[in-house]
Amino acid sequence: MTEYGELIAKKLTAKLPEDKLKERIATMFKEQTMCVIATASSDGQPRATPLECFAEGITLYIFADPGTKIENIKVNPKVSVTICNQLKPSWKGDDWKTHKAIKITGLATILEPDEPESIHTRKEVIHWQEFVGALGRDTTEPPKGLVIKVEPKKIEYSESELMTEGYSSKQIWEAPA
Protein backbone atom coordinates (compact mmCIF):
# COMPACT_ATOMS: atom_id res chain seq x y z
CA MET A 1 0.00 0.00 0.00
CA THR A 2 1.22 3.52 -0.78
CA GLU A 3 1.76 6.25 1.83
CA TYR A 4 -1.40 7.94 0.54
CA GLY A 5 -3.40 4.74 0.84
CA GLU A 6 -2.13 4.16 4.37
CA LEU A 7 -3.09 7.68 5.44
CA ILE A 8 -6.56 7.38 3.88
CA ALA A 9 -7.04 4.06 5.72
CA LYS A 10 -6.33 5.80 9.05
CA LYS A 11 -9.46 7.94 8.56
CA LEU A 12 -7.86 10.92 10.29
CA THR A 13 -10.33 13.31 11.93
CA ALA A 14 -8.06 15.76 13.79
CA LYS A 15 -8.96 19.40 13.24
CA LEU A 16 -6.45 22.20 12.66
CA PRO A 17 -6.60 25.00 15.22
CA GLU A 18 -8.78 27.82 13.79
CA ASP A 19 -5.88 30.28 13.47
CA LYS A 20 -3.82 27.73 11.50
CA LEU A 21 -6.78 26.94 9.26
CA LYS A 22 -7.43 30.62 8.51
CA GLU A 23 -3.71 31.03 7.79
CA ARG A 24 -3.78 28.19 5.24
CA ILE A 25 -6.94 29.60 3.65
CA ALA A 26 -5.34 33.07 3.37
CA THR A 27 -2.20 31.54 1.85
CA MET A 28 -4.22 29.70 -0.76
CA PHE A 29 -6.12 32.90 -1.59
CA LYS A 30 -2.74 34.49 -2.39
CA GLU A 31 -1.50 31.49 -4.39
CA GLN A 32 -4.63 30.89 -6.48
CA THR A 33 -6.45 33.87 -7.94
CA MET A 34 -8.94 32.09 -10.20
CA CYS A 35 -12.28 30.94 -8.89
CA VAL A 36 -15.60 29.69 -10.12
CA ILE A 37 -18.57 31.52 -8.61
CA ALA A 38 -21.91 29.75 -8.77
CA THR A 39 -25.05 31.85 -8.61
CA ALA A 40 -28.72 31.09 -9.12
CA SER A 41 -31.58 33.14 -10.49
CA SER A 42 -34.84 33.67 -8.61
CA ASP A 43 -36.26 30.56 -10.29
CA GLY A 44 -33.20 28.48 -9.33
CA GLN A 45 -31.49 28.47 -12.73
CA PRO A 46 -27.77 27.92 -11.90
CA ARG A 47 -24.83 29.77 -13.42
CA ALA A 48 -21.13 29.08 -12.79
CA THR A 49 -18.62 31.69 -13.95
CA PRO A 50 -14.80 31.52 -13.81
CA LEU A 51 -13.32 34.83 -12.63
CA GLU A 52 -10.21 36.28 -11.04
CA CYS A 53 -10.55 36.80 -7.30
CA PHE A 54 -8.67 38.53 -4.51
CA ALA A 55 -9.03 38.39 -0.75
CA GLU A 56 -8.71 40.60 2.26
CA GLY A 57 -8.60 38.24 5.21
CA ILE A 58 -11.19 35.60 4.34
CA THR A 59 -13.50 37.97 2.47
CA LEU A 60 -13.32 37.46 -1.28
CA TYR A 61 -13.56 40.25 -3.86
CA ILE A 62 -14.19 39.78 -7.55
CA PHE A 63 -14.02 42.58 -10.13
CA ALA A 64 -16.83 41.76 -12.53
CA ASP A 65 -18.45 43.00 -15.69
CA PRO A 66 -22.25 43.17 -15.77
CA GLY A 67 -23.93 39.93 -16.76
CA THR A 68 -26.05 37.03 -15.60
CA LYS A 69 -24.01 36.51 -12.41
CA ILE A 70 -24.68 40.10 -11.31
CA GLU A 71 -28.40 39.84 -12.08
CA ASN A 72 -28.56 36.54 -10.18
CA ILE A 73 -26.83 38.01 -7.11
CA LYS A 74 -29.27 40.92 -7.07
CA VAL A 75 -32.21 38.54 -6.66
CA ASN A 76 -30.45 35.74 -4.77
CA PRO A 77 -27.28 36.66 -2.82
CA LYS A 78 -26.47 33.06 -1.87
CA VAL A 79 -23.36 31.93 -3.74
CA SER A 80 -20.87 29.11 -3.81
CA VAL A 81 -17.26 29.71 -4.81
CA THR A 82 -14.59 27.12 -5.56
CA ILE A 83 -10.87 27.74 -5.75
CA CYS A 84 -8.46 24.91 -6.45
CA ASN A 85 -4.91 24.42 -7.51
CA GLN A 86 -3.88 22.57 -10.62
CA LEU A 87 -3.29 18.98 -9.62
CA LYS A 88 -0.39 17.18 -11.19
CA PRO A 89 -1.58 14.61 -13.72
CA SER A 90 -0.34 11.64 -11.71
CA TRP A 91 -1.05 10.43 -8.17
CA LYS A 92 2.30 8.57 -8.13
CA GLY A 93 5.03 9.38 -5.64
CA ASP A 94 4.30 12.56 -3.72
CA ASP A 95 2.02 14.13 -6.37
CA TRP A 96 -1.04 13.49 -4.18
CA LYS A 97 0.34 15.94 -1.59
CA THR A 98 -0.19 18.85 -3.99
CA HIS A 99 -4.01 18.72 -3.90
CA LYS A 100 -5.63 21.84 -2.35
CA ALA A 101 -9.16 23.23 -2.72
CA ILE A 102 -11.47 25.73 -1.07
CA LYS A 103 -15.28 25.61 -1.28
CA ILE A 104 -17.05 28.69 0.04
CA THR A 105 -20.73 29.01 0.85
CA GLY A 106 -21.63 32.61 1.49
CA LEU A 107 -23.50 35.77 0.69
CA ALA A 108 -22.55 38.08 -2.15
CA THR A 109 -23.03 41.82 -2.29
CA ILE A 110 -22.60 44.00 -5.36
CA LEU A 111 -20.44 47.03 -4.54
CA GLU A 112 -21.14 49.98 -6.82
CA PRO A 113 -18.08 51.91 -8.16
CA ASP A 114 -18.50 54.99 -5.91
CA GLU A 115 -19.05 53.15 -2.61
CA PRO A 116 -16.14 53.61 -0.14
CA GLU A 117 -15.60 49.84 0.22
CA SER A 118 -15.54 49.44 -3.56
CA ILE A 119 -12.98 52.25 -3.92
CA HIS A 120 -10.79 50.71 -1.18
CA THR A 121 -11.08 47.24 -2.73
CA ARG A 122 -10.20 48.42 -6.24
CA LYS A 123 -7.19 50.40 -4.94
CA GLU A 124 -5.85 48.08 -2.24
CA VAL A 125 -7.11 44.53 -2.80
CA ILE A 126 -7.68 43.83 -6.50
CA HIS A 127 -4.47 43.64 -8.52
CA TRP A 128 -5.76 45.25 -11.70
CA GLN A 129 -2.65 47.06 -12.97
CA GLU A 130 -1.16 44.18 -14.95
CA PHE A 131 -4.45 43.31 -16.65
CA VAL A 132 -5.29 46.93 -17.49
CA GLY A 133 -1.73 47.49 -18.72
CA ALA A 134 -2.01 44.47 -21.01
CA LEU A 135 -5.03 46.17 -22.60
CA GLY A 136 -2.91 49.28 -23.21
CA ARG A 137 -4.98 51.38 -20.81
CA ASP A 138 -4.01 53.89 -18.12
CA THR A 139 -2.62 52.15 -15.03
CA THR A 140 -2.58 55.20 -12.75
CA GLU A 141 -6.21 54.90 -11.63
CA PRO A 142 -8.15 51.71 -10.93
CA PRO A 143 -10.93 51.04 -13.40
CA LYS A 144 -14.46 51.81 -12.32
CA GLY A 145 -16.78 48.88 -12.25
CA LEU A 146 -18.69 46.50 -10.11
CA VAL A 147 -17.09 44.49 -7.34
CA ILE A 148 -18.63 41.31 -5.98
CA LYS A 149 -17.97 40.93 -2.26
CA VAL A 150 -18.33 37.38 -0.94
CA GLU A 151 -18.66 37.03 2.82
CA PRO A 152 -18.13 33.38 3.70
CA LYS A 153 -20.55 31.64 6.01
CA LYS A 154 -18.72 28.34 5.61
CA ILE A 155 -15.35 27.44 4.12
CA GLU A 156 -14.48 23.84 3.36
CA TYR A 157 -10.72 23.52 2.97
CA SER A 158 -9.11 20.40 1.51
CA GLU A 159 -5.39 19.72 1.49
CA SER A 160 -4.08 16.18 1.10
CA GLU A 161 -0.72 16.95 2.71
CA LEU A 162 -2.47 17.72 6.02
CA MET A 163 -2.68 13.95 6.53
CA THR A 164 1.11 13.77 6.82
CA GLU A 165 0.80 16.11 9.82
CA GLY A 166 -1.87 13.94 11.48
CA TYR A 167 -4.87 16.07 10.47
CA SER A 168 -7.93 15.29 8.41
CA SER A 169 -7.47 16.39 4.79
CA LYS A 170 -10.85 18.13 5.03
CA GLN A 171 -11.23 21.08 7.39
CA ILE A 172 -14.25 23.33 7.95
CA TRP A 173 -14.42 26.93 9.11
CA GLU A 174 -17.80 28.47 9.92
CA ALA A 175 -18.64 32.08 10.60
CA PRO A 176 -19.76 32.79 14.16
CA ALA A 177 -23.53 32.76 14.47
143 has pLDDT over 90? no
CA distance 138 to 100: 36
Specify the pLDDT at position 168. 95
**Higher per-residue confidence, 96 vs 110:** 110
Q: 125 vs 30, 69, 85, CA distance in Å?
A: 11, 21, 21
Exposure of 19 by Cβ count < 10 A (0-12 exposed, 13-18 middle, 19+ buried)?
exposed
Q: Say yes or no to pLDDT of 26 above 90.
A: yes
Whether the Cβ atoms of residue 63 and residue 52 lie closer than 8 Å to each other = yes
Give pTM, 2 decimals: 0.88
pLDDT at 141: 81
In this predicted structure, the answer to whether residue 101 has a pLDDT above a threshold of 70 is yes
Q: What percent of the chain has pLDDT over 90?
A: 63
User: Residue 89: which pLDDT band, with cuts at 50, 70 and 90?
Assistant: low
Instruction: Give the Cα separation of 149 and 152 in Å (integer).
Output: 10
Show the domains of the chain with their CATH numbers. 3-163 (2.30.110.10)
Give me the residues paired with residue 55 across strands.
60
- Supply the mean pLDDT for the chain: 90
pLDDT digits (tens, 9 = 90+) for 158-169: 999 999 999 999
Pairing of strands 146-159, 78-84: unpaired
